[in-house]
A and B are shown apart, each in its own frame.
Chain A
Amino acid sequence: MTYTPVEIPLDDETKKEFQRGFNADGTKAARVKKRLTSRTATIVSLIIAVIWIIPTFGLFISSFRPEELIKTTGWWTIFQNPGFTLDNYKEVLFSSSSSSPQLGAYFVNSLAITIPVVVFATVLAAMAAYALAWIPFKGAGWIFIVIFALQIVPLQMALIPLLQMFTTWILPIQRFVHDIIPIIPEQSYVQVWIAHTIFGLPLAIFLLHNFISEIPGELIEAARVDGANHGQIFLRIILPLSVPILASFAIFQFLWVWNDLLVALVFSGGTPDVAPLTQRLAELTGNRGQEWQRLTAAAFISLIVPLIVFFSLQRYFVRGLLAGSTKG
C-alpha cells in the first residue's frame, strides 16, 4: 500500500502542527520518553509479556517433542526428559494423503483467498465510512447504527441464504468463465471472496468510521473550498491520513480470513482448487481427534504467515499521522 504525499493547501499553523507530529521521534519526544518509561512500568510490562507468552512457548516446545513424551511429561521437564523430533512437523507438512495431497496447494489457496479479501473489505469500508462521516445526508446516523448492529448477526445464520444466492447467480458466471478460460477452475475463489468481504464489512466500517470522522474538519473544508470533489478528498486526504488505521484493520482482517474455516468450508466446495490451509490442518488431526500432537506443529505453521504480515505492516502504525490535530 503506497500513498501519495499530502498535497493540500494548508494554513501555516496546521502545517507546523503536522511537522511536529511527524517528528514525534525527534529530540523533544526523546526527552519525554526518558521520563515516561519508569522502572515499575518496565517491570510490569515485562511480567505481562512473560505471562502472555508462556502458553504459546509451552506449545512450541511440545511441538518438537515425541508424542509419548507430550502425553506423559510436562514440557518444562524437557531437560530431565530430553527428546527432540521433527516428526510432528514432518507429518503436517509432508504426510501425503491422496484425497488431499498437496499442502502447497492449500497454502497458495489461503493466500489467494486472504489477500484480495483484505483489499476489498478495506477499500469498500473506507469508502462507506467516509460517506457516512463526511457526506452530510439524512439518515447517515441510522445507516451507521444498522451497519454497526449487523456485527452481532452470527455468520452461521447467514450461510444458507448466501449460498442459495450464490448458487443461483454466481455459479453460472463461474461456469461461463471456466468455459472461456479453462485454466480457471469452475469452483473459483469468487464466492469465498464475496462472503468474507461481506462478513468483514460491519466491523471494518465501524472501526474506520471512528477514526475517519476524527480527521479535523478544517482539512476537508479547506479542500472543498479549493474545489476538490469527494473523490479527490478521499484519495488525497482521507486515505493518506488513515494509513495507520487502515494498516491495523488490514492486519485484523487478514487474521480473521486466514484463520477462518467455516466460511471456507461452505463456499470453497472443499476441493483442493479453493480450500485453504485451515481445512487441511483440521483434517490432519485425525478422524477422532486423536492425533493432537500434530496440532502443536500445525498451530505454528499456520502462525508463520500472520506474523510476517504483522511485522511488515507494523511500521505503518508506529507513528500517528493525525498527531497534532486531534482535539485534546
Chain B
Amino acid sequence: MRLTRQRRLLIPMAAAAVVGLALTGCTGDEAAGNKADTDCAPYESYGSFDSGTEVSVYGTISDTEADLLNESWKDFETCTGIDVKYEPSKEFETQINVRAQGGNPPDIAIFPQPGLFAAQVDGGYIKKPSQAVVDNATKFWSEDWQKYGTVNDEIWGAPLMASVKGYVWYSPATFEENGWEVPTTLDELATLTADIQKSGAVDKPWCVGFASGDATGWPGTDWVEDFVLREQGPDVYDQWVTNEVKFTDPKIQGAFDSVGDYIRNPDYVNGGLGGVDSIATTEFGDAGLPILDGTCALHHQATFYEGFWPEGTTVAEDGDVWAFLLPGTEAGASAVTGGGEIVGKYRDADEVDALQTYLSTDTWANNRVKLGGVISANNGLDPENASSELLKTAVATLQDPNTTFRFDASDLMPGAVGAGSFWKGMVDWIGGKSTADTTTFIQDSWPQ
C-alpha cells in the first residue's frame, strides 16, 4: 500500500521534472561578446571593470523591446566588463516604490513618468547623478526635455527615448479615392470630418478605443491634452499640469468639448466598431484597425501604433496607412505632446555612473534607434538612423527648434489624477457624463 502510494506520487512528479528539464534545454546562455571583435573606441572613457561587476536596471520596457534594449548596451558591456542585468516589469509603477521603500532598489531605473521620478527624488531615494550625466543632459536635450529630469532646479536624471503623440492615422488610398486632403488646421480637420461623414464612403469618420485593462481611459486623456496644447498654447498647458489652471477652468472644459465634437458625436464615431458607447470597451490596440477594411477613416494615436498594424501592412505616405500630426489652430504651428523616459540611479558606484552616463550620450541614442522601433529626442541623433519613414518624420519634428514639445500631461500630474481620476473621468465622460460634471470630479480628486 505504501509503496504503490509513493510510486503513484512519483510518476507525476517525474513527469513534471522531465517537462521542466526539457524546457531548460530549449535555450542556452547568450554568447558573450568578444572584445577583440568590438570597436571599443567609443567606450574607452568609461574605464574597465573587473569581471563580475554588475549593474541592475529596472524598467517597463519588456518583451522584444527589452531584447533591443539589451542589444543596445552589449558593446558597452563587452568593452567595460560591466554586466548589465535588465529586469522588465509591467508592475514597475507600483514596484519601484515598494522596492525603494523596502530598501532593495535596483541600481538604475528607467521611469516612464517624470511625475513618478520626481516623487522618488523627493522621497530621497534617487542619488545625485555624476557631473558627466548632467553635462550630457544639458548638451543633448532641449530645455523642454531637461525639465522632465529636473527636480527643485537641479538635474537628477537624463531622458532616454521618446514617442510623439497626437498623430492621426489614415489610409492614403482611401483619401485619394475620395479626394480628401490632409488638413493643416483644426478647422480643416472639422470640415474634413464633416465631408467624410456626408460622403458615406466609410461607416463613420473616426474610430476610437479607450480600453486598456486597468488603465482604461488613457487614450481619452491624450485627446484632451492634444487639444489643450493646440487651442490654449504651452503656457496654459504648463499651468494646467500644476493645477494653476483647474480642470473646471473654461479653457480646459473648452478642450473637452472640442474633443467631444468629434468622439461624442454619434455621426462621427465609432467607425466599424459600433456607437459612441462602444468606445469605452474597445481595446485601444484594435481601435485603428477598421481603417484597413475601409469602415473608418481617421484614428488618433501615437507613433507606437505603427507596431499594431497587422503584419504585411505598409506604413508609408503612399502605403496602406500613414499618419499626419494633429494640426494646430493655424497652419504650420507645430506643437506636439509626447512621452519618454527618465533614467535615475539608486546606488553610488563607478560602474553605475558609467552606465548612466552612457545612456545619456548620443552614442547610445544612435545605437538604440538603429536597432529599430523607437526614437529619441537626443539632439545628437541622426534622423537617418530611425527605422521607418514615420519615425524619421517624428525625429525631425522633435529636433526642429520651432517645435513646442510638451510631455503627456497625465504623466506629469499626481498619480491620484494622472493615473486615476483623469482616466476614470474620461470613461464616464464618453459614457455620457457632462463636461462640467466630469471636470468637477477630476478637479475634486486633486490631492490637497
Contacts and interface: CB of A to CB of B under 8 A. Distances in A.
| A touches B in complex, CB < 8 A | yes
A20 to B, nearest CB: 19
6 contacts: A68-B310, A98-B30, A104-B22, A279-B89, A288-B304, A311-B12
Contact of A164 (B6, B26, B95, B101): B101
B65 A104 contact: no
Contacts of B91: 261-262, 265
A247 to B, nearest CB: 11
Contacts of B179: none
If over half of B's interface residues share one DSSP class (helix, strand or loop), that class is named, otherwise mixed; here it is helix
A172 interface: no
Interface of A: 2, 68, 71, 93-94, 96-105, 107-108, 111, 159-160, 162-164, 166-168, 171, 261-262, 265-266, 269-271, 279, 282-284, 286-291, 304-305, 308-309, 311-312, 315
A282 B90 contact: yes
Interface string B92-119: 0001001101111000000000000000
Please list the 8 inter-chain residue pairs (A to B) with the smallest Cβ-Cβ separation, ordered nearest first: A163-B102, A104-B24, A104-B23, A167-B103, A99-B66, A290-B285, A270-B87, A312-B12
Interface of B: 2, 5-6, 8-9, 12-13, 15-16, 19-30, 56, 58, 60-67, 69-71, 85-91, 95, 98-99, 101-104, 212-213, 283-286, 304, 308, 310
A327 B98 CA distance: 49
Given A104-B27, A160-B101, 18 more contacts: A2-B6, A71-B286, A99-B70, A99-B86, A104-B23, A104-B26, A107-B20, A160-B98, A163-B104, A166-B102, A265-B89, A279-B89, A283-B62, A286-B62, A288-B284, A308-B15, A308-B16, A312-B8
A103 B27 contact: yes
Given A101-B30, A311-B12, A164 B58 contact: no
A164 B16 contact: no
Contacts of A312: 8-9, 12-13
B63 A284 contact: yes
B257 to A, nearest CB: 29
B88 to A, nearest CB: 6
Given A163-B98, A289-B212, A101 B63 contact: no
A168 B58 CA distance: 22
A288 B98 CA distance: 22
A102 B90 contact: no
Given A97-B67, A266-B99, A270-B58, A305 B27 contact: no
A266 B8 contact: no
